[in-house]
Amino acid sequence: MPNGLSSFLALLVIGGLCGLALTQTHRLTEKPIEENRIRQAQALLSELLERPAPTDLIWASGVSGGCGDWHFVRGGINGYAGPISYLALLKQDTLRLRITHHQETPGIADFLNHAQDPYLPDLDDTPTADWARLDNISGATITHQALRRMAGQAQGLVNQHRQRNSCEATSAE
């Protein structure tokens, strides 16, 4: 058998075995992983809302909350080391922000982990307009810029959501 073909077949066998192990493990762990993620998300929503969050939230284009005076927003912005996912609560014109996933440099971007660092909880209920001026001098890092862009993106998504659902017309009536 030619050398190249035998190498190819060997790679195929090894790749197949690895794929089989991964798919079988995925099948076993899929359900508990999903349950853990839902539990974590629900705890985070409740923390932001300061009361038990509804379990039947309907999400459309990353926004939930219908035409009420608060909206949950979930989205992502690129940081220094990849996408940063967030969950935000926009209550009238104020914003509460939590990071749900990031790959920023440990030790430098630890302030994103709200469980370890009070940086984000301390900014709770800051008007969205003020987020644009956040740490303009002292924290001029790509991660801080990402936080500012998150606030802008969250506000933009809520505005689009309210327009799409004709919320302003409904409230005027």
| Cβ proximity of 84 and 150 under 8 Å | yes
The yes or no reply on residue 43 touching other proteins (CB under 8 A) is no
Minimum Å gap between C-beta 59 and other proteins is: 22
State how far the Cα of 94 lies from the Cα of 124, in Å rounded to an integer. Answer: 8
Residue 151, token pair as written in the block: 């606030």
CA-based nearest residue to 131, from 115, 166, 155: 155
The yes or no reply on residue 29 touching other proteins (CB under 8 A) is yes
State how far the Cα of 132 lies from the Cα of 141, in Å rounded to an integer. Answer: 14
The yes or no reply on residue 25 touching other proteins (CB under 8 A) is yes
* Dihedral over Cα of 40, 127, 79, 137: its sign: negative
Stretch binding other proteins (CB under 8 A), from 3-11, 42-50, 126-134, 160-168: 3-11
Site string for other proteins, 64-103 (x = CB under 8 A): ---------------------------------------x
Minimum Å gap between C-beta 77 and other proteins is: 18
Minimum Å gap between C-beta 165 and other proteins is: 34
Minimum Å gap between C-beta 145 and other proteins is: 21
Tell me the site size for other proteins, rule CB under 8 A: 22
| Cβ proximity of 59 and 66 under 8 Å | no
Burial of 67 (0-12, 13-18, 19+ CB in 10 A): middle
In the complex, the residues that contact other proteins under the rule CB under 8 A are 3, 6-7, 10-11, 13-15, 18, 21-22, 25-26, 28-29, 32-33, 36, 40, 103, 106-107
